[in-house]
Structure 1
Amino acid sequence: MTNESLRVRPFHQVDVFSDRPYFGNPLAVVVDAEGLSTETMQHYANWTNLSETTFLLPPTDPRADYRVRIFTASEEFPFAGHPTLGSAHTWLQAGGVPKAQGIVVQECGAGLVQVKHDGGRLAFAAPPLTRFGPVEPDIRGQLAAALQVPDEAILDASWLVNGPEWIGVLLESAEQVLALEPDVAAMGDLKVGVIGPHTEGSSTDFEVRTFVPGDAMVEDPVTGSFNAGAAQWLIGSGRAPQEYVAAQGTVLGRAGRIHVKAQDGEIWVGGASVTCIEGTVLL
């Protein structure tokens, strides 16, 4: 950390993609991050030991309501889904008033992202995919080995890059997704999201699991960026309806719910957020 002057700043810890505290994906939010260096933000994000920590700042684009910087324990992301919803929730709870009624405009490394109220939840407009298309044959083989499934079990596999470099893997059923026991070594440095449909009549339409490389592979509880890319892929190819609900985090004892809707030329990815901790932090 640099020799910046420490001061008390508002801080929230929010559970995202769940209306039940401690059943979604947690996010640390520093509400007033003016004056903090990138080094300090990264150091603090590492210290929180959460998947992401965000820092709210005044916008530099006059069209935006606020600016956010998003950090994992080791790097900064231009965009991520659960940090977007959790940051917008916190900004509103802290008294933020959007310039346009009903729409919050977030400025982040990926550009401007719209966030709106949708059925009592916040939802963000999925950013454009910067890389999209079938994975290369050697990577498909690596995916089959890493997920420990036969190649024919993979119905499709596609790049879904919208900041994080996700690869989406479609399996035949939610049961197959829940049964996965990935091989960490075979996964290498791939960021992989796996999705499969539930049977008709289930409370959710799809089951999702996402795996992130590191010293040890980590399964993310609920992942907005992957679900945004998967929605564009599956709705665009006719494999998913225009509106659906995905479950994520089941294997981890979480109950994440991602609400997806194609509307007015946009894919909206939404979920509930609940503030679990509110106070101050010395930074």
Structure 2
Amino acid sequence: MNDRPSDARFPREFSVTQTHAFHQVDVFSSQPFKGNPLAVVCDADDLSDAQMAAFASWTNLSETTFLLKPTVDGADYRVRIFTPMGELPFAGHPTLGSCHVWLAYHGKTGMQDIVQECGAGLVRIRISDGRPAFAAPPLRKSGSVDAETLATVAAALGVASSAIVDANWTDNGPGWLSLLLKTRADVLNIRPDYAALGHFQVGVVAPCTHEDEVETDFELRAFCDNCEDPVTGSLNAGVAQWLMGKGVAPQRYVASQGTVLGRAGRVYVEKLDDDIWIAGEVTGVIAGSVVI
């Protein structure tokens, strides 16, 4: 772990500082390659913002996280979350995946309650049925969607107005706007026009029925940044707050996401007292070291 490669192996423009433990995990799936991948770099306190951003761009995953020592009382660890384009204050699957790696890396797998420090503040995490779960953050924007915006989004998704049951802002940071559709088939049949969708970050959800022959209660899809996200913790958190508030969703359910992409994401949602917890399996795929 502490052996440093000779300078001859690296171009002059790279400053080799340290070898870091590195993990890549699959979040929201008990099967490798069926969830949402996440790269995690441990003991990253010595890395600069530029180094973190460059490595996250290189992995080309939706998110890469860096584990650091906490800077505030009450936190067990600190995480910084980067996309290939920049840093995020909070995201769902990076929170669960980072917690899983931190617990294993530090031999704390028996802990049941963890506090993560991130750009959005302190996030409570608990272990529920062997799965990490985060407490859904409060919505920054909620309420109905204006008719013009709804028409634009529906047209970009190719969704007929007759298939839309309701629409609401479910923004807990990324800017989510969510549509409740009538059937699971309505969700799975969407073929988005990303150019027409523009800057909107859109989630769609529909209840599953016995006719769907699936073991989950809801089907979701997430369209953001000109692509479809396989499994999305922040969207599921916002949708849960909305649907439970409407009385559409029970206080405990399982959602599936990523079906169209060939994934098998499963999100476990539970309301306890005033908190809604978003949980998912985390499966290790790659473990090793990286020089940054």
* TM tier relative to shorter chain: over 0.9
**Unpaired runs of 5+ in structure 2?**
1-12
Q: How does 1:1-283 map to 2 (within 5 A)?
A: 5-95=16-106, 97=108, 102-200=112-210, 202-213=214-225, 217-283=226-292
Query: In 2 relative to 1, CA 193–282 (structure 1 residues): closer, same or farther, beyond 3 Å?
Result: same
**Unpaired runs of 5+ in structure 1?**
none
Aligned residues: 278
Query: In 2 relative to 1, CA 150–121 (structure 1 residues): closer, same or farther, beyond 3 Å?
Result: same
Moved more, 18-27 or 135-144: 135-144
Confirm or deny: 8 A CA contact 2:177 2:203 kept in the other structure.
yes
Alpha-carbon distance between aligned partners in 2 of 1:196 and 1:243, rounded to the nearest angstrom: 16
Alpha-carbon distance between aligned partners in 2 of 1:86 and 1:101, rounded to the nearest angstrom: 15
Alpha-carbon distance between aligned partners in 2 of 1:175 and 1:153, rounded to the nearest angstrom: 10
Q: Secondary structure at the match of 2:186?
A: helix
Q: Report the CA distance between 1:31 and its aligned residue.
A: 1.0
Confirm or deny: 8 A CA contact 2:194 2:227 kept in the other structure.
no
Q: Report the CA distance between 1:122 and its aligned residue.
A: 1.0
**Misfit runs of 4+, over 4 Å:** 2-5
Alpha-carbon distance between aligned partners in 2 of 1:113 and 1:17, rounded to the nearest angstrom: 18
Alpha-carbon distance between aligned partners in 2 of 1:101 and 1:268, rounded to the nearest angstrom: 17
Moved more, 151-160 or 127-136: 151-160
- Alignment-mate amino acid for residue 28 of structure 2: F
Q: Report the CA distance between 1:73 and its aligned residue.
A: 0.7
Confirm or deny: 8 A CA contact 1:122 1:271 kept in the other structure.
yes
Q: Report the CA distance between 1:4 and its aligned residue.
A: 5.0
Confirm or deny: 8 A CA contact 1:79 1:162 kept in the other structure.
no
Q: Secondary structure at the match of 2:178?
A: strand
Query: In 2 relative to 1, CA 227–39 (structure 1 residues): closer, same or farther, beyond 3 Å?
Result: same
Q: Report the CA distance between 1:136 and its aligned residue.
A: 2.1
Q: Secondary structure at the match of 1:207?
A: strand
Confirm or deny: 8 A CA contact 1:159 1:167 kept in the other structure.
yes
Q: Report the CA distance between 1:36 and its aligned residue.
A: 1.2
Instruction: Decide which structure has the larger Cα Rg and report it.
Output: 2
Confirm or deny: 8 A CA contact 1:9 1:281 kept in the other structure.
yes
Q: Secondary structure at the match of 2:177?
A: strand
Q: Report the CA distance between 1:264 and its aligned residue.
A: 2.0
Note the alpha carbon deviations across 1:182-213, whole angstroms, 9 max, x for none. Answer: 11221011111110111047400001100112
Confirm or deny: 8 A CA contact 1:79 1:110 kept in the other structure.
yes
Moved more, 86-95 or 140-149: 140-149
RMSD: 1.6
Alpha-carbon distance between aligned partners in 2 of 1:68 and 1:250, rounded to the nearest angstrom: 29
Confirm or deny: 8 A CA contact 1:170 1:196 kept in the other structure.
yes
